[in-house]
Amino acid sequence: MAAINEEKERRVIPNWRSFATTASLGELNASTLKNSYIPILSIDSYIHDFKNNPSVPFAADLLSAALVNGLTDDKNVEGAARFLMNHKHEITTSQEELANRIINGPSASLNVIEKITIKQLNDCISNKDYINRIRELKLHLNNFPYNSIAWVELSRCYSILGQERKAIQTMKYAVQLSPNNRFVTRSATRLFTHFGEFDLAQYVLRHCDMLRKDPWLLSAEVSVNTLKGKVSSLLKRGIEIIDSDNYSPFSTTELAASIATVHLLAGDRKKSKKMFTKSLISPNDNSIAQIEWVLNSKDKNLFDKSVINIETRHNYEAMAINNFYNNNLIEAMDNACQWFCDMPFSKRPVMMGSYIADLLNNKNLAITFLEKGLISNSNDCQLLNNIAYYHALENNLDEAIKYIERIDNKLVDDIDGICITATKGLIKFREKDFEKGRELYLSAIESTAVLRNKELNYKAILNYAREEIMAKSDFIEPAMNLINEMKEIENMSIGIKKLHTEVIELYRKYKASNM
């Protein structure tokens, strides 16, 4: 039976993307409201020189000045760029790239994720890509060991490949080089919390000189404390920053969402609503996802859903959740795929994507999603169990056994253990070893009862009943009796309801064929 990685309590931990993407989202801009004053310089003299001397060096000198001044739209500059491209055999690669950039605009590669749909899942995020990227970064760092951004990028690649120790070590180098840099500190916070190193995350934040002044860092500090079950001593400082007029609403969005979450957990809905409302003035993907999570939890009535600006960039997580709960499953699956490509080390988009694929009866797609998740989490028992489960349902028993045998029992908790036992029962049923299969299923069902986990209990019973019906065994009626005793099915998750309908239909057909 499939395990579900349900996020009981989401926190506003910084999202971790590549440096270029993070920069393009504006999360690294100066927080305070002040303007730069560098004037745009005239490039007339460079234009004049090129007109009088139409040759490669003069054209390149003009292009250089234009790029420095951001005057690349000037038609004379474009003319010089075209001149260079017409003399391709006489120019350097730098000149060619610069001319291309001026003619065609900067590379649009940052928007690639937005165009990804589930059809491209197979092609995106592969081990090979990240191994190559690691090789490139190592080479670069040999020459430029003081580049903290490259160390962060290397750490990210390691974390995507699930190499925890190396990811943590390289991130430590980055923090040593740039302990006060927002990108480095927030990336470190995400990595360390991802691997459960909450104290390390807190240490990095506490030793950052900018912590008390930077809302992006304060937000992380408040959330890390919440993860540890504590309330940050800087909560008051955070509220001061939000209430002051010195910071842009975008730079305080995560901080407001973090503080709102603290208030919500403390049961102060009024303060929480006030902070979430501030967070929504100019939200980012993380604050929106936090609000989506709240609105799909027990606090769904905190405020009106229509106030959310779902158009925020890289908002894949919130969109996946929103589309899922609105029953737009195809769109939700595309969003899960985008979410996964945006943050490949995260297991949540993988679990959600495979769950939706299952709801859409596409077991192969569910398996593809889960296998992608194994890149970062190669020993994850939930992923391995679910792959085995879907393979077994498709009667690919060799594959199912291969994955179920990979599970390390030392990493298995009670709930996962129940799911794995049930999956083993499924495999035995499909191997026609009904007795052993039944024994395993009943053991799983009994454990769910001990844990008083109703959802899991229903799920195990439904899976078991399906196998008895398919086996046309003598135990169908007792299994169906257990199903008939189920209450409030309508309040269960969409997955349970679907499974329930399928089993009832299967039973009906079985009965019809035996009449």
Q: Which residues bind to another protein, rule: CB under 8 A?
A: 19-20, 23-24, 26, 28-30, 32, 34-49, 52-53, 55-58, 60-61, 63-65, 67-70, 89-95, 97-98, 101, 106, 140, 143-144, 146-150, 177-178, 180-184
Nearer to another protein, 150 or 384 (CB): 150
CA distance 448 to 141: 51
Residue at 404: amino acid letter: I
Smallest distance from another protein to CB 245, Å: 15
Min dist. Cβ of residue 246 to another protein (A): 12
Using DSSP, state whether 5 is helix, strand or coil.
Answer: coil
Question: To which H or E segment does residue 225 belong?
Answer: helix 215-227
Burial class (CB in 10 A: 0-12, 13-18, 19+), 433: middle
Q: Measured between alpha carbons, how far is residue 479 from residues 1, 142, 256, 320, 325 in Å?
A: 16, 64, 50, 35, 31
Residue 40 φ then ψ, to 5°: -80, 130
Q: Using CA atoms, how far apart are residues 318 and 161, in angstroms rounded to an integer?
A: 25
Rounded to 5°, the CA angle 271-276-280 comes to 150
Work out how close the CB of 51 gets to another protein at its nearest, in angstroms, rounded to a whole number.
9
HEC secondary structure over 313-343: CCCHHHHHHHHHHCCCHHHHHHHHHHHHHHC
Indicate the residue among 36 and 513 with the shorter CB distance to another protein.
Answer: 36
Q: In whole angstroms, what is the distance from residue 219 CA to residue 212 CA?
A: 10
Amino acid at 458: Y
Minimal distance, residue 135 CB to another protein, in Å: 14
CB of 252 to another protein, least distance (A): 15
DSSP one-letter string for 281-308? SS--HHHHHHHHHHHTSTTTTSS-GGG-
CB of 151 to another protein, least distance (A): 10
Which residue, among 325, 367, 333, has the nearest Cα to 349 in the 3D structure?
A: 333
Closest approach, Cβ 479 to another protein, in A, equals 60
**CA-CA distances (angstroms) from residue 419 to 348, 390, 466, 488?**
18, 13, 16, 22
Q: How large is the angle between the packed helices 249-265 and 285-295, nearest 10 degrees? A: 30
Q: How many residues does the chain have?
A: 515
* Helix/strand/coil percentages in the chain, nearest 5: 70, 0, 30
Q: CB nearer to another protein: give 218 or 465.
A: 218
Rg, the chain, Cα only: 27
Query: Closer to another protein at the Cβ: 34 or 410?
Result: 34
- Write down the least CB distance from residue 112 to another protein, Å: 16
First to last CA, the chain: 31
Q: How far is the CB of 56 from another protein (least distance, A)?
A: 6
Angle at 392 between CA 391 and CA 393, to 5 degrees: 90
Supply the minimum distance, in Å, between the C-beta of residue 52 and another protein: 7
Amino acid at 201: A
Least Å distance between CB 217 and another protein?
12
Instruction: Give the residue with the Cβ less far from another protein, 186 or 438.
Output: 186
Of 65 and 321, the one with the shorter C-beta distance to another protein is 65
AA letter at 76: N
- The nearer residue to another protein, 40 or 512, going by C-beta atoms, is 40
Residue placing its CB nearer to another protein in the complex, 248 or 473: 248
- In the bound state with another protein, the residue whose beta carbon lies nearer, of 105 and 196, is 105
Closest to another protein by CB, 19 vs 510, is: 19
In terms of CB distance, is 144 or 309 closer to another protein? 144
Residue 144 or 450: which CB sits closer to another protein?
144
Q: Find, among 312, 339, 318, the residue nearest to 250 by Cα.
A: 312
Shortest approach of another protein to residue 30 CB, angstroms? 4
Q: Residue 114: which of 350, 446, 337, 351 has the closest Cα?
A: 337
